[in-house]
């Protein structure tokens, strides 16, 4: 386990998946991250790469050849190299290998950089095309936050506050694939009250979210967090059935649609990166 910390936060990280595994506030004495209880879901905050969500038939076609990839890709199950560690920063790197090239025929370098800035944890993703062909990929975040996170609250005391949206339109999922139907949720003062039933049919998938900050708050005390993200065209909100957490998931990419032809080049949200170019995105969480 790798730990970085400052006067306000202590963060635990693992080389496997370069995964965030603890987000503790020294001021509030609260652990804000989900504890990965396998009874519900045994992960904390996996990186989704080189795909987000499910592929149709768990496979894609590239240059006339079929390749199989599991849901959310493979990066979360690989051990990253630790490139840098300081008191308040850690950088992890994953590159192609003989194993990855068999299922994903691209050369790449994926970096995750964790930095503490006062009461905020910043996670920056960098993808570098170190091959000679165009790199096709998607990337997403999947942090799970504990709900409740204090003993005097219950799940139904919590809500999500959106800084711009007053109505949510989400795309429904059909066996993990994006269906052709949508549903709407009217927000009360930009607030979505959390209840387990929201996620009984899988994640809520958004393609037109206007907000770039979602706050996890409750009606019983003043503790919570602000989750800030930029330039992610898709977003997912999810929890396992009746589980005491909620995932806030900014995505550059999305699961295949039910009518997708499986061609990777035609995949919705696929990013196309030229040789020797790099790509950056970040999210940031502020605990209080």
CA–CA gap between residue 27 and residue 6 (Å, rounded): 11
Q: What is the CA radius of gyration of the chain?
A: 19
**225-263 pLDDT per residue, tens:** 999 999 999 999 999 999 999 999 999 999 999 999 999
Three-class DSSP category at 68? strand
Q: What is the mean pLDDT of residues 46-57?
A: 98
Mean pLDDT computed over every residue of the chain: 98
Measured CA to CA in angstroms, residue 94 lies from 74, 80, 128 at distances of 11, 5, 11
C-beta atoms surrounding 117 within 10 Å:
14
User: Is the peptide bond prior to 168 cis by the omega test (within 30 degrees of 0)?
Assistant: no
Tokens 């970040």 label which residue? 282
Tell me what pLDDT residue 141 has: 98
pTM exceeds cut of 0.95: yes
Between CA 256 and CA 176 the distance in angstroms is 8
* Tens-place pLDDT, residues 113-137: 999 999 999 999 999 999 999 999 9
Tokens of 23: 């987000």
pLDDT of residue 119: 98
**Domains, the chain:** 2-287 (2.70.98.10)
Spatial distance between the Cα atoms of 271 and 140, rounded to a whole number of angstroms: 12
Q: What's the confidence (pLDDT) of residue 106?
A: 98
């Amino acid at each position: 386990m790798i730990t970085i910390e400052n006067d306000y936060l202590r963060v635990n990280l693992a080389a496997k998946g370069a995964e965030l595994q603890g987000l503790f506030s020294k001021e509030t004495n609260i652990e804000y991250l989900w504890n990965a209880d396998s009874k519900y879901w045994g992960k904390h905050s996996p990186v989704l790469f080189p795909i987000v969500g499910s592929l149709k038939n768990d496979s894609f076609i590239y240059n006339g050849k079929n390749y199989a990839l599991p849901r959310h890709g493979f990066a979360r199950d690989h051990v990253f190299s630790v490139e840098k560690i300081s008191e308040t920063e850690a950088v992890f790197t994953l590159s192609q290998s003989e194993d990855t090239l068999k299922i994903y025929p691209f050369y790449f370098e994926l970096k995750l950089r964790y930095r503490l800035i006062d009461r905020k944890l910043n996670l920056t993703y960098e993808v570098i095309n170190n091959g000679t062909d165009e790199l096709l990929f998607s990337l997403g975040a999947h942090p799970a936050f504990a709900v409740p996170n204090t003993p005097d609250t219950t799940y139904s005391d919590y809500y999500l506050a959106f800084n711009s949206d007053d109505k949510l339109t989400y795309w429904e999922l059909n066996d993990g694939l994006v269906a052709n139907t949508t549903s709407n949720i009217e927000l009360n003062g930009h607030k979505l009250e959390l209840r387990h039933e929201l996620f009984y049919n899988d994640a809520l998938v958004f393609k037109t979210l206007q907000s770039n900050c979602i706050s996890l708050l409750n009606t019983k005390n003043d503790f919570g967090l602000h989750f800030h993200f930029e330039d992610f065209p898709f977003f997912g909100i999810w929890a396992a059935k009746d589980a005491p957490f909620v995932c806030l998931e900014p995505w550059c990419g999305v699961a295949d649609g039910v009518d997708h032809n499986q061609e990777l080049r035609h995949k919705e949200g696929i990013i196309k990166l030229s040789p020797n170019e790099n790509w950056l995105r970040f999210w940031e969480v502020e605990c209080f």
